[in-house]
Amino acid sequence: MALTGRAGLLAALAAIVVLLAPEPGLAVLAALLVLVVLVAADLLLAGAVRGLRFERDGERRVRLGQSAAIGLIVDNPGRRRVRGVLRDAWQPSAGAASRRAALDVPPRERRRLVTTLTPTRRGDREAVAVTVRSVGPLGLAARQRTFHVPWTVRVLPPFLSRRHLPARLARLRELDGRHPALVRGQGTEFDSLREYVVGDDVRSIDWRASARRSDVVVRTWRPERDRRVLIVLDTGRTSAGRVGVAPVPGSGPSGWPRLDWSMDAALLLAALAARAGDRVDFLAYDRAVRAQVSGASRTEVLSSLVNVMAPIEAELVEADAAGMVAAVLSRARRRCLVVLLTDLNAAAMREGLLPVLPSLSSRHMVLVASVADPRVAGMAAGRGTAEAVYDAAAAERLRGERREITAVLRRHGVEVVDALPEDVAPALADAYLALKAAGRL
């Protein structure tokens, strides 16, 4: 049960009656009695909440930054009207819009209420409780009960870098030779023979085929296809650090975790590689496999990727590089492109990845992509005061360490992409296209 403000007002007004009553002591008792009787009557006459039935409908998935409408159907099988308020409680970061809604369900009828969710971070957001407060006809007291009506909305990564996809696909078509400009495909895999047209590179003329026919024939090339790309996401402690400005409102002022930027880059790469005809696998690892996608078809790979990525959070443990390399080697039997999304943290790299890197880079093409911190770049440019210069020195020291580790990695034959948060996705896609054009996959 619950009392209402009206009951309090009634009790306060009774004080005036008591003030004017000839027998004030008795009046207090009478007022209390009247209040208790009225509250009890109101409780008895209020619509029953115990028998209410609930159903949910609506979306199961929503991209971060967008809104989802979740319907809640309240079915009142009782004989009295249920009138009052309803609170559909979600986890705070689900961003539920109407915290309490007015409810009025006539007997043996049902009503649908809509809760709009605007999540502020990735992951699974659950409906925690539905609380109904059914107010009596006098408005003095209410019956209240909390129900558990489960529903989970998976908040997917927003894939903001998909705006870079058309430009990269155009580059891919150029490589493929299918570009409207009829530029010769720059791939390395033999595709077919066709007649020479003016403008073709004379170096691509196939003299043997030309001799067989009375025509000049050129070879066409296409980029290699059916290569394997394994995207490995480091979910260790270095991925928890927040950088840049969060592109989704409500994520807080300290920016987005490196993990989210890395996911964005991974999604663009996966979308591009799937279009390019490569097979994309995915692995999230810190000290154990957090999530994986393998053998997904080209049309499904993106949706299964966002689905498994959604609930991943950075774990506050040091990533186990040896275990990760072992996991990669056990999954990738054939040579493939291993894209490792991690942070170029010098100390962590030296102790973790570098000792085990040779076993990986000897069998696979390795590409390390890392999100740089724009705040560090800003600090490095600080001049004028002693404080700013000390900060600049600290930032330069970090950048020096990153350059050094980048050089070490490159000596191991590893490609390195180190870019600011907004640029890391297109930079990684460009690196992939460059590798593909060079036939190094």
Q: Which residues in 391-420 contact other proteins (CB under 8 A)?
A: 391-400, 403, 407
Give the Cα separation of 141 and 93 in Å (integer): 32
Q: Is the dihedral of CA 145, 150, 152, 153 positive or negative?
A: negative
Options 77, 107, 137, 252; binder of other proteins; rule CB under 8 A: 252
Q: Is the dihedral of CA 396, 399, 404, 407 positive or negative?
A: negative
Binding residues for other proteins restricted to 78-107, rule: CB under 8 A: 85, 87, 89-93, 97-100
Stretch that binds other proteins, among 62-70, 191-199, 284-292, 390-398 (CB under 8 A): 390-398
Q: What is the DSSP letter of 185?
A: P
Is 50 an interacting residue with respect to other proteins (CB under 8 A)?
Answer: no
Binding residues for other proteins restricted to 325-354, rule: CB under 8 A: 343
Give the Cα separation of 4 and 84 in Å (integer): 11
Give the Cα separation of 73 and 55 in Å (integer): 5
Options 135, 379, 416, 425; binder of other proteins; rule CB under 8 A: 379
Is 205 an interacting residue with respect to other proteins (CB under 8 A)?
Answer: no
Stretch that binds other proteins, among 16-24, 58-66, 210-218, 281-289 (CB under 8 A): 16-24
Q: Which residue has the tokens 């053998």?
A: 295
Binding residues for other proteins restricted to 106-145, rule: CB under 8 A: 121, 128-131, 133, 144
The minimum distance between CB 26 and other proteins, in angstroms, equals 9
Q: Are 51 and 74 in contact (CB under 8 A)?
A: no
- Which helix H or strand E contains 42, and what residues bound it? helix 24-45
The SS3 call for residue 96 is strand
Site string for other proteins, 281-320 (x = CB under 8 A): --------------------------------xx-x----
Q: Is the dihedral of CA 112, 113, 119, 125 positive or negative?
A: negative
**Which pair of structure tokens corresponds to residue 135?**
């107010």
Options 146, 152, 303, 362; binder of other proteins; rule CB under 8 A: 146
- Which helix H or strand E contains 265, and what residues bound it? helix 258-275
Is 67 an interacting residue with respect to other proteins (CB under 8 A)?
Answer: no
Kindly tell me which of 18 and 289 has the beta carbon lying closer to other proteins: 18
Kindly tell me which of 35 and 433 has the beta carbon lying closer to other proteins: 35
